[in-house]
Amino acid sequence: MKILALSGGIGGAKLALGLYRSSMVDSLTVIANPGDDFQHLGFTICPDLDTVTYTLADVVNEQTGWGRKDETWEYMEAIKREGGEDWFALGDKDLELHAMRKRRLAQGDSLTAVALDFAHSLGITASLLPASNEPVRTVVKTATGDLEFQHYFVRERAEPVVTGFEFKGAEMAQMTREVSNAFDDPDLDLIVICPSNPYISIDPILAIPGYRTKIAGASVPVVAVSPVVGGKAVKGPTAKMMFELGVETSCASVATHYAGLIDGFVIDDADAHIARTIEVPSMACNTIMTSLRSKQQLARDVIEFGVSLESSSLN
């Protein structure tokens, strides 16, 4: 099986790991959300790309879901002592990646080349790709003004009331050759939209010219997995945002959000009773990934559902 997945950070990375470690998958490409990226303390921080990379390399901090395990914090302590910006925690091990990325970008290498080489250096055999080499930055529109994404999410703890989003730079950004080749690969079997926040993790990718067309026109099934279970977000502020945006906080709303892009939608067993309200074919299973086994099982369920959609569309 050859799979192309779109992912945000923590929740998406869990399914990406399940796919990566699935015996059914021979080849995996993951496209990471660029909207959370920002410049901070002189570094280009790419939280979702890095979370997917650390997760697949098995070096992620499993308590937080982001950053490195067995991290030390001397750099942050120095920033604090100097009265610098210490609201965004960059660990010493994580800093090794950031220093390397800074050096490589400064010498003219692309974000894609840096990401592929870094993943390779960690022994990852999947292709982990930024959605674009150009910056795409989510701006969160709130009742009290516009906020850069990490300022909203980490510094303000996602507390301000959200009224909308802007994906700055998206219209000027380009789908990379590596991403385009992954979509056009004649051996591709399935496209998966991971259980990530549709508004802030998947929409920034879809805002880049070409993505919607490639996904809507794909000759392979496109399956999304709901990040909303029983009206609540499995992780993060998805449900809070939906409420503030005036959208019903249910998995059905997520399926509607992806209308025209997906052929099938995976929901949790807890939502099986509302499956009939979902406009595309749906499948209920356990989507709560608390162990490697449950991640691999969800990957298997998603693949088998995707394959069943393909054969039913051929009939």
Contact residues toward ligand FO1 (CB under 6 A) are: 8-9, 36, 45, 47-48, 50-51, 66-67, 88-90, 94, 150, 153-154
Of 44, 65, 28, 297, nearest in space to 188 by CA: 28
Q: Which is nearer to ligand FO1, 50 or 301 (CB)?
A: 50
Bridge partners for 9 per DSSP? none
Q: Which is nearer to ligand FO1, 193 or 303 (CB)?
A: 193
CB of 254 to ligand FO1, least distance (A): 16
CB of 80 to ligand FO1, least distance (A): 13
- Give the integer Cα–Cα distance in Å for 216 and 225: 17
All residues at 6 or more sequence positions from 290 whose CB lies less than 8 Å from its CB, including other chains: none
Q: Which is nearer to ligand FO1, 95 or 190 (CB)?
A: 95
The helix (H) or strand (E) run that includes residue 303 is helix 292-314
Query: Is 130 in contact with 46 (CB distance < 8 Å)?
Result: yes
For residue 68, the 8-state DSSP code is B
Q: Which is nearer to ligand FO1, 59 or 89 (CB)?
A: 89
CB of 249 to ligand FO1, least distance (A): 19
CB of 217 to ligand FO1, least distance (A): 28
195 token code pair: 């259980």
CB of 283 to ligand FO1, least distance (A): 26
Three-state SS across 214-237?
A: HHHCCCCCEEEECCEECCEECCCC
Sequence letter at residue 306: G
CB of 157 to ligand FO1, least distance (A): 8
Q: Which is nearer to ligand FO1, 202 or 309 (CB)?
A: 202
Q: Which is nearer to ligand FO1, 43 or 243 (CB)?
A: 43
Residue 307 burial (CB count, 10 A): 16
CB of 276 to ligand FO1, least distance (A): 32
Q: Which is nearer to ligand FO1, 183 or 199 (CB)?
A: 199
- Give the integer Cα–Cα distance in Å for 91 and 87: 12
In the block, residue with structure tokens 């009224």: 163
Cα 35 to Cα 100, 191, 199, 278, distances in angstroms: 21, 20, 10, 28
